[in-house]
Amino acid sequence: MSNHILTILAGGYSRRFQKKDGKWLDKALLYIRDKPLLIHLVEQGLEKYDNINVSVNSSSRKNDYEKIVKQYLPDIKIDFTIDLKETALDGVLKGIYSTLIQYTNSIIQFIPSDRPYLNLGILKGMRVEKKGVSLLQYENGMIEPLLALYGQTIIFPNNFAQISLSRADVPIRLSNKIQAYSIDEILDKNKLSSSIFTNVNVQTDIDSRASKYSISNTIDIPKPTIISRESIDLSFDRSQYPRKNRFLKELIDIENYYSAFLMSSNFWRQKEISTEEYKEFGVKSLKKEHEFWVNCGMPFLALHSLDDLVKFFPDERKSDTIKEMEELRRKMEIKPRRIE
């Protein structure tokens, strides 16, 4: 099995892209420069990765894409991941999880199918530890979770897959080592337009601008900011940890706060801890996680910690929490970028 895999995320419904009362259009098959978006990404990927994989939500979409690839690239074979059914995960996270399960011991670079302007040389320049995740972050703290690079031994415990989760940054929040690359530094250092990170949200986003973005294969990537914490086996050996509370406290002690929250949720669902214990550990874990990401300079993940806090524990929807969430959103507001 190939070791370095590019996975194109193409399993969504593209709701914002559709016109009201119009026929459903597949973004990945929209033509730009006489080729579907999907083919542009596959062609770029073939130059830089050992293997190309496309993540889809159904076998029918897989068949449609296979026909398109055969039409434009008859001598090329690509792999597919079809979303696993036996999971409570939803949205793009289901595609990410299904891919991680399919390709164990592989380095996986994700990219959504709606990025026609992004040269993959930027992604290929990132490095990742075996147990780590590498990502791209803007100066204002926003990150690109759908462009994340996953190491060979990333573990997403099966018991977490039975919890209703949908955000793409869930595996990032679980990671023991994160390398955050500055998008603004990459753009400045290589004299690149910020428009290369533009994605296709609505049909009018496709225009002649795409022909202007040609980037050298040689991209100078500045050193990343590294966030590390102690790792622990999340498969949970019940004989080794008969006391669930002790295990949850250990996770909190080594700053694996999101893992502690998800584990407490899992134990509660299995009736292995009480509702009171779940609330105690869940609230403490998410508050600690918020503080952790703020101190690490990652407000995007800090905001999602508070989002989870008020979602799973409505009693925590207090004025100071809401105010902090509003402040984080204000801090990360992306100003319109000039199209060059």
Amino acid occupying residue 147? L
In the chain, where are the structural domains located?
4-228, 244-331
Q: Which CATH class is domain 4-228?
A: alpha beta
pLDDT number for residue 153:
81
CA distance 55 to 62: 9
Per CATH, the number for 244-331 is 1.25.40
> Would the CATH topology of 4-228 be identical to that of 244-331?
no
pLDDT number for residue 198:
79
pLDDT tens digits, the chain, 340 residues: what are they? 458 899 999 866 555 555 666 665 777 888 877 888 899 889 989 988 989 999 999 999 999 999 999 999 999 999 999 999 889 999 999 999 999 999 988 999 999 988 878 888 899 999 998 889 999 999 999 999 999 999 988 778 888 888 899 999 999 999 999 999 999 999 999 988 888 887 766 555 565 444 444 445 678 999 999 999 998 777 655 555 668 888 899 999 999 999 999 999 989 988 989 999 999 999 999 999 999 999 999 999 999 999 999 999 999 999 999 999 999 999 887 443 333 3
User: What are φ and ψ of residue 267, in 5° steps?
Assistant: -60, -40
